[in-house]
Amino acid sequence: MSRDEFTRAWITENAIDVLDRYQKGILTIRALHYQLVSMGLTNSIKHYKRVVAAMIEARWAGLVDFDAFSDLDRTMVGKTDYEQTNLDDSIDKAKEQIQAWMDFYCKNRWENQPYYPEVFIEKKALQGVFQSPCMRYDVALGACKGYPSLTFLNEATQRFREAEERGKMPVILYFGDYDPSGEDIPRAIEENIRKLGCESIEVRRIALMKHQVLDWNLPPAPAKETDSRTANWDGLGQVELDAVMPEKLQRLCTDAIEELFDRSLYDELNEQESEERSEYRAKLREFVSSI
């Protein structure tokens, strides 16, 4: 296709088809851009800006929902409560919570596992993609936003050292861009965490790797000249993590977590959980009766 064929109408029509395949808030506009690239759109800044403009226009026109995309870099913290409090509603809610506590008892999924894993991603914008598999396996998820700050790494090191002291092997599953910095960030993370006092930390770079770029035919762009590591890098070219289909990233994440997870140990944990649940309920009933 020629450049003129990638009009806003073409982008909008194909974008709607793509968005229909995902839950709201999974895709970023950058990820949408890469899906359109796989359909013929040129991987250029001009075309990316055209996608952004088309999606602004489509949302105002009612063709695309305003909450179709994730933008976790601009989320609010906390909530301003203003609803009037209703006593009867509060009592009903409290009863539901008490019943929920009576029914709820579960062991921590990783308590008898040898590993303590966390998932680190280079970009906060992709948090919505990784959140589902991480929540399913009760694994912490953190966005580095490029090279992570020492504050971020120090807080992580404290968690890893605590896990280490309890006999766990701390592991970071890292997902980042395929470019000079993307390849170097995992090294820097591991080096700094070791300096901060967790010698046993292991960082596993899961994506993006050269073989993945080739196998999935991902569109490379020239590495950034502003990146000081570009001059000494012999990679294929820059490929953003956003270029990978969200379902592939979720599968990669799930597979990486499952590789660490011992199912036989989890079966033992579930048996122990069943044995302890009846005692848990009895103690709660006893406590509620005593209030």
Compute the 3-state secondary structure of the chain and give helix, strand, coil in percent, each to the nearest 5: 55, 10, 35
pLDDT digits (tens, 9 = 90+) for 18-47: 999 998 888 889 999 999 998 989 888 899
Q: Residue 290 has what pLDDT?
A: 86
Split at pLDDT 50, 70, 90, the class of 1 is: very low
pLDDT digits (tens, 9 = 90+) for 201-249: 999 999 999 999 999 999 887 777 677 777 777 778 889 999 999 999 9
Buried b (16+ CB within 10 A) or exposed e, 183-201: bebbeebbebbeebebeeb
pLDDT digits (tens, 9 = 90+) for 45-99: 899 999 999 999 999 999 999 889 987 777 777 887 888 888 998 889 988 888 8
Q: Are 139 and 108 in contact (CB under 8 A)?
A: no
Check pLDDT > 70 for residue 4: no
Which residues touch 259 (CB under 8 Å, ≥6 apart)?
A: none
Q: Domain residue spans in the chain?
A: 3-71, 115-266
Q: Residue 54 has what pLDDT?
A: 94
Q: Residue 271 has what pLDDT?
A: 93
Q: Residue 288 has what pLDDT?
A: 83
3-state SS, residue 197: coil
Q: Residue 287 has what pLDDT?
A: 86
pLDDT digits (tens, 9 = 90+) for 146-199: 899 999 999 999 999 999 999 999 999 999 999 888 889 999 999 999 999 999
Check pLDDT > 80 for residue 130: yes
Architecture of domain 115-266: 3-Layer(aba) Sandwich (3.40)
Q: Are 221 and 238 in contact (CB under 8 A)?
A: yes
Q: Residue 2 has what pLDDT?
A: 46
Q: Residue 237 has what pLDDT?
A: 81
